[in-house]
């Protein structure tokens, strides 16, 4: 494999309970498989250690949070070292008493932990009560994490709807955009509405690939997770993790309802070739964008 070739992988996983040891072991099995297949970069889904606990507001769930360093970073750091891969994980971070984040953690083989990204955009919708649990990130903003396989523009779930985040990562030198994710359907929605939601989700991220001429890797969870609130519909996580190239072309996509790994080999030189043909950065009118930092143009 030439120096321009990079084999990447992701794990799409179903979570049945809050037993971290069991869930980590399941992730480890798939990580070993991907490493044996030659992957040098692997992405896990958002909050892969536990159930998606944000379906209700309950202070007991803060007990699921961990410090950095802590048990999760020790476990996955050792695994990344053993497998000699760059590994992007996700955890519920306890930064201080009463201060918690939804944090992506990046390990680089024997270098260990090389960077973190704290989720910046925090949703608060029925079944997704994340503002109760997570403080928005406040360190370095949208800054890629340097690794042995390139500069990783790591963002998390709700960040994927914001072109500003992807653009700033690209402008700071990101080579790949990565989105650990936990998104799914309300079972009360019609099949037509469910399709619209999925199509919007995938399209906006393919758009980030196109607008920035960068490959995108998206790892979503799969499976149904019941709500702890009586009468609530729960979340049917729609899976369909995917990897796309720098023109938004789908290179691999997982099923909606099965645990699955994906692998793709990127030609990293192609990103520069695409930018030469489609020079969006050259033609940006930065003199006319000052209002983009306003909440609204009243």
Contact 159, 119 (CB under 8 A): yes
Please write the tens of the pLDDT for every residue from 191-250: 999 999 999 999 999 999 999 999 999 999 999 999 999 988 999 999 999 999 999 999
271 is a catalytic site residue: no
52 Cβ contact list (under 8 Å, min separation 6) = 15, 182, 221, 225, 235, 237
pLDDT score of 1 more than 60: no
pLDDT of residue 217: 98
When the pLDDT of each residue in the chain is averaged and rounded to a whole number, the result is 96
Q: Is the predicted pLDDT of residue 3 greater than 80, yes or no?
A: no
Tokens (6 digits) for 50: 């536990």
In angstroms, the Cα distances linking 232 to 18, 127, 227, 286 are 20, 8, 6, 46
Q: What share of the chain is helix, strand, coil (3-state, %, to 5)?
A: 35, 30, 40
Which three-class secondary structure state does DSSP give residue 259?
Answer: coil
Q: Is 269 a catalytic residue?
A: no
Catalytic residue chosen out of the listed positions 40, 66, 93, 157: 157
User: Does residue 68 carry a pLDDT above 60?
Assistant: yes
**For the chain, domain boundaries:** 5-283
pLDDT of residue 282: 96
Tokens 């998606």 sit at which residue? 52
Residue 46 is among the residues annotated as catalytic for this protein: yes
The whole-angstrom separation of Cα 21 and Cα 44 is 16
- Quick one: average pLDDT of 4-9? 96
CATH top-level class of 5-283 = alpha beta
Quick check: 254 pLDDT over 70? Answer: yes
Phi-psi category of 234—alpha, beta or left, where left has phi over 0 and alpha has psi -120 to 50?
left
- Catalytic position from the list 40, 54, 66, 119: 119
Active-site position among 39, 40, 46, 225:
46
Which phi and psi angles does 218 have, rounded to 5°? -130, 120
In this model, does residue 2 exceed pLDDT 80?
Answer: no
The 10s digit of each residue's pLDDT in 178-190 is 999 999 998 889 9
Average pLDDT estimate for 89-100: 97
Mean pLDDT of 282-292: 96
């Amino acid at each position: 494999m030439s120096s321009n070739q990079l084999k990447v992988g992701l794990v799409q996983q179903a979570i049945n309970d809050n037993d971290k040891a069991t869930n980590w072991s399941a992730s480890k099995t798939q990580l070993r498989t991907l490493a044996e297949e030659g992957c040098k970069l692997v992405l896990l889904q958002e909050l892969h250690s536990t159930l998606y606990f944000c379906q209700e507001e309950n202070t007991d769930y803060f007990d699921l949070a961990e410090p950095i360093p802590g048990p999760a970073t020790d476990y996955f750091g050792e695994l990344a070292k053993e497998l000699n891969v760059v590994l992007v994980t996700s955890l519920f971070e306890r930064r201080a008493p009463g201060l918690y984040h939804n944090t992506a953690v990046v390990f680089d083989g024997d270098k260990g932990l090389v960077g973190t990204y704290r989720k910046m955009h925090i949703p608060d919708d029925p079944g997704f009560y994340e503002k109760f649990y997570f403080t928005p990130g406040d360190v370095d903003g949208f800054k890629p994490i340097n690794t042995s396989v390139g500069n990783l523009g790591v963002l998390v779930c709700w960040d994927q709807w914001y072109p500003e985040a992807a653009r700033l990562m690209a402008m700071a030198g990101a080579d790949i955009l990565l989105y650990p994710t936990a998104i799914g359907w309300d079972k009360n929605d019609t099949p037509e509405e469910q399709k619209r939601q999925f199509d919007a989700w995938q399209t906006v991220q393919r758009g980030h690939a196109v607008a920035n001429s960068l490959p995108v890797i998206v790892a979503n969870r799969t499976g149904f997770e019941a709500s702890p609130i009586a009468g609530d519909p729960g979340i049917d996580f729609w899976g369909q993790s995917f990897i796309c190239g720098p023109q938004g072309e789908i290179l691999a996509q997982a099923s909606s309802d099965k645990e699955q790994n994906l692998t793709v080999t990127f030609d990293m030189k192609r990103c520069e070739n695409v930018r030469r043909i489609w020079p969006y950065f050259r033609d940006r009118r930065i003199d006319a964008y000052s209002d983009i930092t306003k909440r609204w143009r009243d």
